[in-house]
Amino acid sequence: MIQKLLSHKLLIIGIGLGAVSGYLYYHYVGCASGTCAITSKPLNSTAYGALMGGLISDMFKSKK
């Protein structure tokens, strides 16, 4: 039970950190021409960051 709760916390933290990272990437790097698929809009960049953060944090979950 504790292990399951810990894995969900890790996933939520990973999604949150990924979303913040995606938005910061949009804000500071972004796309000058507006033709970039991911970084042209803040919603796209934030969603992509959240997805990547969730996938990366899921790698650290124990496989019992």
State the total domains in the chain.
Answer: 1
Instruction: Give per-residue burial for 2-18: e unless 16+ CB within 10 Å, then b.
Output: eeeeebeeebeebbebb
Asked whether residue 8 is domain-assigned, the answer is yes
Range of the domain at 22: 2-58
Question: Domain for residue 32, yes or no?
Answer: yes
Nearest to 50 by CA among 9, 6, 11, 7: 11
Q: Is 64 a domain residue?
A: no
Does some domain include residue 44?
yes
Q: Which 3 state secondary structure label does DSSP give 4? A: helix
In tens, the pLDDT along 20-57 reads: 999 999 999 988 887 888 888 999 999 999 999 999 99
pLDDT, tens digit (0-9, with 9 covering 90-100), for 2-20: 776 666 888 899 999 999 9
- On whether the CB atoms of residues 48 and 38 are closer than 8 A, the answer is yes
Q: Has residue 63 been placed in a domain?
A: no
